[in-house]
Amino acid sequence: MNRLPSMNDALPPISSSPDGDAPSLGLDLGPAPVRKESAGEYRVLARKYRPSSFEDLIGQEAMVRTLTNAFKLDRIHQAYILTGVRGVGKTTTARILARAFNYAVPDKGIDRPTVDMPELGVHCQAIIESRHVDVIEMDAASHTGIDDIREIIESARYRPVMARCKVYIIDEVHMLSKAAFNGLLKTLEEPPPHVRFLFATTEIEKVPVTVRSRCQRFDLRRIESDVLIDHLAGICAKENVGVSREALALVTRAAEGSVRDALSLLDQAIAHGSSATADEIGAQTIRDMLGVADRAGIVDLFENVMKGDVATALNGLKEQYDQGADPALILTDLAEFVHFVTRLRLAPNTKPDGAVTPDELKRGREFAAVLGPAVLTRAWQILSKGIHDVRQSARPLAAADMVLVRLAHASDLPTPEDLLKRLQDAPARNTPSPMSGGGGGSGGATAMAQGSALRAPAAMVAPQNAPRAYAGPRISSIQDMVALAQSNRDIQMKVALERDVRPVRIENGSFEFALAQGASPSIAQALMRKLQEWTGERWLVALSNEQGAPTLKEMSDAKEAERMRGVRAEPLVRSVLERFPGAEIVAVRTLEPEIVPAPVSFRPSAPGGEDVVYVDSDVTDDEDF
């Protein structure tokens, strides 16, 4: 049995090392292990490929051009405010500007502010890593008070330690308190010559106008789809990752113009598709990751609901739901396609988005050729409300089904213009004959159901066995409506009828008109409500695509112009205008014949009697009055 060595045992003799360099203690531990160099932590793509110069910044050409010219002309402002949605490069641009303010390469004799930075300068790396002593970054979300601003004001008086300029970068500046903004105003307006302020915010309207007026403002745009797709493709090439362009288009659409969102989704997509057997990450992998529907399936769904094929539409929705698509996202994609078709209908020459596939563009143009703006607008309204209902519902799939049902049944409803014309023709086609008798109440309704294919709410169609009688005032012209509005003391409606309404057709219970240029379309709804209130009867008021008759004001102006031309043609007036150049006729008044009252004489009666007044046409002397 082996025994552990004790303190009483003799120690082994000290021997020399094999090389004879140093003595050995008799403990042969073998060769020292070689320490591997640490690979470092993984950096996400949004940080790894963060732009460090204006050449790397994408989608902000207008801002880059303005700043480049300003630096060349030595017109560098004291404060800049950068605004835009998340992930478009506000903080990145601020750091690039901090580099430009302090750029210096002593070996090449460069020591001036410039946006041309082909290589790293003395201060660049520290500024990029946000650890430079003269570039102070502050998050206004966690430093909102006046005390934080007071520290900035106090330190701004001292010159920079190492760099040329002392730069203060305040992110989310709209989170500062009112007192903090007020405390910053004086220093922001008249800072020391070595101080620059850079503000970044996503909610520019919350920044006081007194602060905005002291800064040069740059609105950073959302990145266009084709530019962002090319940017992502370049990063995939650098990372040696294969991602199809259709998959990148799905990532770009989900990012909504934000570079940071797109890179975060790309990071997730690479991790999600790393176990796939294919060499390239395809669009289906991205759909599974994002829970979105297939674009071809969305177009098919749109076609089915527009045709009124409810069963096929519901089955298509269920298939996409079983594949992992969110019902709310399916309706959102459907609404986006409705908007896409509407743009193709109204502006066919508009450049399509870079994320739109050729098949989607082809089918969208086919739909735009047959679907009118009224149908597309109604579909948009139904989907907009339906998306909100689905997101709030405890059963999203069932709620989405009901939205498609409403959309399919509303797709073939008549437009208001068609409905008005059908209502005008319906009584003539469906009036019961005298031989039908008046005993049964259901006979008229049955005849109407069999004789008319009009799809209209029942409240808008009068029963055939109840002749319509107007108890209110009779209206047969636009002048009658104006008089009715004036009698009811509604001056606003009276002025609108005279100035904005071009009558097309007016009958008892219905009024169709066109609008003058610049008039509000809400006149129709307000007039329908007022007429029902004034007459006690239901009126159908609709806008027309026809030209319509001139408005009352146009007719009055034309009559007045004709009258003015006649006055100018008078010899006396013409001679006066020629005698006094520059004179103008301001108004024309017609003098009415003066009515002279009959003379009245007053004669007192005898004491105790009544006074008598005599009317005498022959009295001419004042003594009789």
pLDDT of 91-140, one tens digit each?
Answer: 999 999 999 999 999 888 888 999 999 899 999 999 998 899 999 999 99
Considering only CA atoms, which of 262, 288, 263 is closest in space to residue 273? 288
Same domain membership, residue 305 and residue 230? no
Q: Is the pLDDT at 446 greater than 70, yes or no?
A: no
Same domain membership, residue 207 and residue 268? no
More confidently predicted of 413 and 281? 281
The stretch 315-326 carries a mean pLDDT of 87
Q: How many domains are there within the chain?
A: 4
pLDDT band at 190 (very low <50, low <70, confident <90, very high): very high
- Amino acid (one-letter) located at 411: S
Q: Is residue 13 part of a domain?
A: no
The stretch 48-54 carries a mean pLDDT of 91
CATH of the domain at 162: 3.40.50.300
Residue 12 confidence (pLDDT): 45
Domain that holds residue 124: 45-219
Same domain membership, residue 571 and residue 536? yes
pLDDT of 132-173, one tens digit each?
Answer: 999 999 999 999 999 999 999 999 999 999 999 999 999 999
Average pLDDT of the chain to the nearest whole number = 79
pLDDT of 536-565, one tens digit each?
Answer: 888 888 888 888 888 888 888 888 888 888
pLDDT of 57-67, one tens digit each?
Answer: 999 999 999 99
Q: Is residue 145 part of a domain?
A: yes
Percentage with pLDDT > 90 across the chain: 35
- Amino acid (one-letter) located at 214: R
- Do 365 and 340 touch, CB atoms closer than 8 A? no
- Do 424 and 544 touch, CB atoms closer than 8 A? no
- Mean pLDDT is highest, among 273-277, 309-313, 579-583, 598-602, for 309-313
Same domain membership, residue 314 and residue 231? no
Same domain membership, residue 161 and residue 255? no
Same domain membership, residue 136 and residue 194? yes
- Residue by residue, DSSP assigns 76-133 as --SEEEEE-STTSSHHHHHHHHHHHHT-EEGGGTEES--S--SS--TTHHHHHTT--T
Same domain membership, residue 185 and residue 156? yes
Q: Is the pLDDT at 175 greater than 70, yes or no?
A: yes
Q: Is the pLDDT at 491 greater than 90, yes or no?
A: no
Q: Is residue 10 part of a domain?
A: no
Same domain membership, residue 242 and residue 158? no
pLDDT band at 416 (very low <50, low <70, confident <90, very high): low
Same domain membership, residue 239 and residue 279? yes
Considering only CA atoms, which of 423, 545, 528, 543 is closest in space to residue 481? 528
Q: Is the pLDDT at 609 greater than 80, yes or no?
A: no
Q: Is residue 165 part of a domain?
A: yes
Q: Is the pLDDT at 20 greater than 90, yes or no?
A: no
Domain end call among 289, 313, 338: 289
CB atoms within 10 A of CB 435: 5
Same domain membership, residue 124 and residue 214? yes
pLDDT band at 581 (very low <50, low <70, confident <90, very high): confident
* Of 53-67, 69-83, 337-351, minimum mean pLDDT range: 337-351
